[in-house]
Amino acid sequence: MSNEKNFFKQIKSTLKKSDFIQKIENKYNSGFTDLIIINDKLPLFIELKAPIKGNRIKLEKSQISTHLRIFNNNYISFILVRDPLTSNAFLFDGYQVAISMVRGLDQPSFLVHDTITQCLQVCNDLVKQK
């Protein structure tokens, strides 16, 4: 089983039964975020990354485009990166990562490094503020 699939299962296990989660696997519309989670009536667009080594986020051009389009439509996207050394994750703002790649800048700092539950709570809090 792939690292990303295990990461998805780990995320799913932290959610309440009332939460909606949809894993997007679509070979015809590449680039869309891996997950849509709806809780507290808010959509969370989340790209999953489960690196085996290294700490650089790699996005395809279509993924960069998706994060920019989500931002331009007044939503927030996120990139959740599994920490290969712990069961925690790093949470990044998808737009900030995408725009830094477009501009050739260094990868932005993560928003939080914590449990998956806490990372998802930060996502909810940021979406509520938007």
Name the residue among 37, 54, 55, 68 with its Cα closest to residue 110.
55
pLDDT tens-place string over residues 13-25: 999 999 999 998 7
CATH entry, 3-129, from 3.40.50.720, 3.40.1350.10, 2.60.120.460, 3.90.1520.10: 3.40.1350.10
Query: Are the CB atoms for 5 and 35 separated by under 8 Å?
Result: no
| Model confidence pLDDT, tens digit, residues 2-55 | 788 889 999 999 999 999 999 987 766 678 999 999 987 889 999 999 887 766
How far is 75 from 67, CA to CA, in rounded Å? 9
What pLDDT, on the 0 to 100 scale, is given for residue 24?
A: 86
Q: Within the chain, how many helices (H) and strands (E) appear?
A: 4, 6
Domain boundaries along the sequence of the chain: 3-129
pTM of the model: 0.92
Distance CA 8, CA 12 (A): 6
